[in-house]
Amino acid sequence: MGTLHHSTAFRTAVDDPILPFLRSIQIALEDFKCSTPNLSKLLKDCIDKFKDNHRYRNDPRFLKIWFLYMDASADFDSVFKGMLNSNICANDASLYVYSACFFEAKGRLCDANTIYKLGISKNAEPVKWLKKAHTLFLSRISEICNAASSQKVDHIESATLENNCINPWETSTMNDLLKKINPLITKFDGYRSSTKSYTGKVALSTLKSASRNKVIEIGGMKYHIKGCAGQGGFAQVYKANVNNDSDDVVALKIQKPAFAWEFYMYRQLDQRISGRERSSYGFAHRVHLFSDFSILVCNYLAHGTLQDVINSYVVIGKSMEEVLCIYYTTEMLHMIETLHDVGLIHGDFKPDNLLVRYASGNLTEDGFLDRTGSWHDQGLCLVDWGRGIDLRLFPDHTTFKADCRTSGFRCIEMQESKPWKFQVDAYGLCGVVYVMLHNSYMQIVKKESSDGGSLYHPRLPFKRYWNVELWKNFFSKMLNNYPSHDDKRLLQELKKSFEDYMNSDPQLIRKLKELLVKQRVSLCSA
């Protein structure tokens, strides 16, 4: 990255407060004995101290600090999103070119392309350099694709290439799929598309800083924004009243650049999952696509996420009661079984994407096992389908090779650069269960087994007063040799083991009912 203290010979910490950090970081970079954790801490301390300081927002020295920290961080996605959220050099092409190059080097071609487009849409200067860098990037990707397609391989090698080298989230893959399904997607109810940019009275780019009480007029509707319901690096979700009706509430997912794939996934859910199960997977009313933005209009659930439930225990220094963990584990096993059985993969299974649903009436003991009566509305709802995979668009027995880069939710196959399929959701489910049990992201260890092989186990032990055998069986089967092509039997077997336990003692269902009522009261009044 070069020197960090350009033209600072005559400055002092008084007139340039960041200077002591720059000198310390420079020394650390030049000292080969300095450990990465020490350097990372130094970089993080600098970022935490000055990220909200407007003086350094467009300082190229501070931008270099962020890039150094991105390079040293295991979760570089979060670092990049932090730069975007703090508007670090947001109008400087360097932010997008260097970030895109970093993601490209990590094999994240889809994200690299998105970053280039984001910078171009913002007219980051010098935009000519930015566009040239993007063109060269596309040329490199084109050469790779052409080289792969021109190779002469026999049938077995071709199958291996096909089965093991598909990145379902790569821009080129998704663009090819969208072209393939375009005649279908344009006929879906709620699809609205324009080749022009968004020209509404409220600039969508300004919503992030001040959204409350602004009104977005689109498609003959007025959406009165009531607040931000969630945000990421490329999309924000807002709670809004339709036509100022407080009883008609929706979630608006605003994304730049425009993104049609999630709407397609929602319509596949409509077609493939029956009415009884459909409420567990979110619902999209319509999508408005422009050349620069997309606005996805979805159902709004007001009771927060499973992460909020977990956090409610963390703040009081406790963990979720085991019976509640068992209930939510059973729900998630059932959700994934249903999903995979119709050829769909979520791809981003984590507690932030699981909304909590509550029964409209009082819960009874009857109907718990078969999810009838009041239990039908009680449970979870899986949302955020931007990384969803439709297996019917790929040849039979296709497997994938890509890394989600989500800390704590990277399946073993991703960690070992091996092909995966259903494992991405299975490991995500394990990660959620682990967080519920231990209040921390899942870490796994590899231990030798009695037959001379090796097995993966969760790092933290189970508490002695838990049903240890139940949890051991769950994690052992989910983490080791998970089926690549048909996981239905395993998911049903594990689900039954939890249901049998709950059914073994009427007191367990009574306790579960009490905990769910208590949870609803405490979270909805917070």
Q: So which residues are the catalytic ones?
A: 348
Closest CA to 27 of 18, 39, 15: 39
Q: How many angstroms separate the CA atoms of 168 and 258, rounded?
A: 18
Q: Which helix (H) or strand (E) holds 227?
A: strand 221-231
Q: Contact, 348 vs 404, CB < 8 A? A: yes
Residue 25 tokens, joined: 């970081």
d(CA 410, CA 492): 23
Long-range contacts, 200-206 (Cβ 8 Å, 24+): 204/254, 204/256, 204/293, 204/295, 205/256
In 333-436, beta strands by DSSP E: 344-345, 354-357, 379-382, 389-390
- CA–CA dist 61, 65 (Å, integer): 7
Contact 270, 342 (CB under 8 A): no
Q: Are 294 and 258 in contact (CB under 8 A)?
A: yes
Q: For residue 127, count CB atoms less than 10 angstroms from its CB and return exposed for 0-12, middle for 13-18, buried for 19 or more.
A: middle
Q: Cα(480)–Cα(472) distance, rounded to whole angstroms? A: 12
Token pair, residue 243, equals 């036509």
Torsion of CA 57, 60, 64, 67, to 10 degrees: 60
**Tokens 């439709």 -> residue:** 390
Among the listed residues 294, 78, 269, 117, the one whose alpha carbon sits nearest the alpha carbon of residue 192: 294
Nearest to 456 by CA among 420, 498, 415, 493: 415
Phi, psi of 232 (to 5 degrees): -135, -165
Based on the number of CB atoms within 10 Å of its own CB, is 522 exposed (0-12), middle (13-18) or buried (19 or more)?
exposed
Q: Is the dihedral of CA 398, 401, 406, 407 positive or negative?
A: positive
Question: CA 210, CA 206: separation in Å to the nearest integer?
Answer: 7
